[in-house]
Amino acid sequence: MSLQLALAWLANQLQVQRPRQWSSWLLRLFIKPSPRAPWAAITPQQAPDPAAWAGRALGVPHGAPWWLWPWRLFVLPAAPRPRRWLARLVLLGRWLARALALARRPLGWVFWLVLWPLRALMRGLERLAAKLDTSGAGLAIGRAADRALAPVIAIPGMRWLVLGVAMAAALAVMTTPFNWFGQLIFLLLAWMLSMVLRKLPGRFPSLALATISLTAMGRYAWWRMTNTLQFDSPMEALLGYGLLAAEAYTWLVVVLGFVQSAWPLQRPAAALRGATQDWPSVDVFIPTYNESLSVVRPTVLAAMAMDWPRDKLRVYLLDDGRREEFRAFAAEVGVHYIARTDNRHAKAGNLNHALGLTQGDLVAIFDCDHIPTRSFLKTSVGWFQRDPLCAMLQTPHHFFSPDPFERNLGTFRRIPNEGALFYGLVQDGNDFWNATFFCGSCAVIRRAPLMEVGGIAVETVTEDAHTALKLHRRGYTTAYINEAQAAGLATESLSAHVGQRIRWARGMAQIFRTDNPFLGRGLTLWQRICYGNAMLHFFFGLPRLVFLTAPMAYLFFHIHIIHANALLLALYVLPYILQSNIANAHVQGKYRHTFWAEVYETVLAWYVALPTTLAMINPKLGKFNVTAKGGLVERAYFDWTTSLPYAVLVLLNLGAFAMGFVRLLWWNADEPATVLLNLVWTTYSLLMLGAAMGVASESRQVRRMHRVAAQLPAVLYLGDGRVLQATCTDFSMTGLGLQVHLREHESLQLAPGEPVHVGLWWDDTECALPAEVVLDKGRGTVGVQFGALSRDEQIELVQCTFARPDSWTHWNNTQDVDRPLMGLHEIAQLGLRGYRKMGSALLHEARRLVRRRPTPLTTAP
């Protein structure tokens, strides 16, 4: 009896007229009866049939089999009726409104019960993922998958078969038209699967995450191109297709990028063969133009000290500046000096001139600030012995000084720098496809193939990548060892950094225009993809500017450049963004943290857009510019010249945000979701632009020789005969930081200028170097500065510090783990800090202008 009363009360609350029909109960959970026709006034004959209504809404005909009902929840009919999407969107809005109204009723607990299984499933997935991560099961599964699938993938033709089947299945999923509910379920299932896969190590979970990400992107791209391109005016069409072109560019780069880095080779060093007298001879080229001798000196000394037979190693200082100081230095330390009468073709011409004057079997090339380790040649030359077709081997470019992003934003050694992704992952992926790029430094090239292609390429300003492309067209192989065997100086200022990237972008566009990798003979499909993606990457300028300004069309002028319901757009774009971030965090997180690519591209977009466009029109435009190294930033300042484009974009986005706020409250209150979506987009752009403004606020950099943080054993020899054990905490070519190990209650007081000797080691050899105390902070923290060191002492210092084989092995141990939400939070904080710096700089400039304003003369009446 009590159950019947409860059901009667529940039927009255839900206004269910036919309590024996389960469909009536389900329908009334979401749909409230019309107030114009109260249920009390409707006879059973007049009452609507919920099943018939649901059938019409879902497109299920009368008498259809039972399985068509759940199918139509996810998949639309093959030939949808006109305006069906509009009807479904209206229905969705009504259901959401009814859901909100129901949540305020006592029956709101019904929704809690409905959603409880989903919440429980999420918690279970998190616990499963955490267990896999901590128990080692994930590592075991990943290794088992690698062992099981690696032999299968190695079968000839199997890669093509797997790729074809995967593409066919992905295409079917991408093009199947889900309704809003099906798309929501797709989002949730993809997300839940990714939450588990991201905890599994190994390559196959990475490939699975990439596949899910590409599928989500494909669904969005298909829906975007087939459902959102209805425009009412030529201006809408122009802006709408412009945004679509920018999005299509990102889709293409993402697809090519996943292929490029799908299987990092992780090539180890190859052991050298034969006796030392049979090893190849090596010419070491160190080109220089306008750099100071203090920058070049360590590189030359380290090159001289490389572990290689003395009779097979020749070091050449290539001075395009034709400076007598450099000639004297070369004679002093005993290296060859080469200068030429002109600077034709810049660095490429300098190297080609030296090639004509030397005879070594191999050529090792180092930028004048890249200091090689002793083990560089022993690490790299073995592959030339193993593979007679190997024409070039590249190692990473490692920097021991912060670039402008790292210094001005305070992320040095916490967040991977701009080049970490290329040298940490992309080049390893290129190596798998035999498409390793020559990067201009820290590389070894076999002389015979290099001369066969005419030496270093001179047709473009990125002579390095173009040279590698020519070698690959001739059928030669290349190699990459992902082990830092040299380290150099990053660019000191934002303007220098931007100038360097402009040269790279212009050069890649020149190659794409004059020697397109997708055309011509000699390259495999995979090599074409690797080269093509590297070149297309530098065309990000215009698409990034489109993304930074696209919401303004609606917020300023009420122009709809995407014709779709805002909620439906979110249901399609959210899986794309979410899955891309999850996949990138898993695959690239060690080398580039989530959302940081947008910061780098925002800073550079304006400056690379025009050079790449002009290079496509006329490849001969532009010239080689030398990247300044070893300079100083003597005082903190705001780089208004470089940041002017960002400042304009900031003002435009702030204006658009203010206009959107007005639209939300008054002008377009009838479409709040659309206004809110554009406001969220604008807010994200403002955060990225704020981070760009933070990069433009230059911090001081007053050291001519950067100190490198380290933990090296050392000994401090005092003038009174005491010998103290210590740890070298940082080093440079001019001095050291020491932490002396003191016993309890023991003290140490050293006067500035006091002469000492510092003992350092390389292998089992101790080097005692003369120095003087410049700083004593107490508690054993001491700073010393070297005096005038002899040639041998300078070489010993380099051997004990920069040229140690393990100098850069643990460099990234202090790096933060990539957590996408935490990364977005940090970028938001950096953006707000950037705006504070911009405001302070504006205030400073205003005060300076006021002080410079002349005082008007007054005359007596």
Provide the Cα torsion 38, 40, 43, 48; round to 10°. 40
CA distance 665 to 672: 9
CA distance 400 to 404: 13
Upper half-sphere CA count for residue 291 (Cβ side, 13 Å)? 27
CA distance 549 to 567: 21
List the beta bridge partners of residue 537. none
Query: Three-state DSSP class for 752?
Result: coil
CA distance 448 to 453: 9
Amino acid 760 reads L
CA distance 355 to 447: 8
Locus of tokens 């292609």 = 453
- Cβ atoms of 305 and 520 within 8 Å: the answer is no
Which residues have CB under 8 Å from 837's CB, separation 6+? Answer: 638, 693, 694, 697
Locus of tokens 């940081």 = 596
Q: Which of 319, 320, 403, 431 is catalytic?
A: 320
Active site residue 320: yes
Q: Which of 319, 369, 431, 464 is catalytic?
A: 464
Sheet-wide strand order for 362-365: 336-338, 313-319, 282-288, 362-365, 443-446, 390-394, 477-480
- Interior/surface letters 229-256, b for 16+ CB within 10 angstroms, e for the rest: bebeeeebeebbebbbebbebbbebbbb
CA distance 219 to 173: 7
Handedness of CA 644, 649, 650, 654 (dihedral sign): positive
Which residues have CB under 8 Å from 62's CB, separation 6+? Answer: 52, 55
Tokens of 673: 């979701």
Cα 459 off chain centre by? 29
Instruction: Specify burial of residue 675 (Cβ count, 10 A radius: 0-12, 13-18, 19+).
Output: buried
CA distance 415 to 595: 12
Tokens of 826: 């940090």
List the catalytic residues. Answer: 320, 464
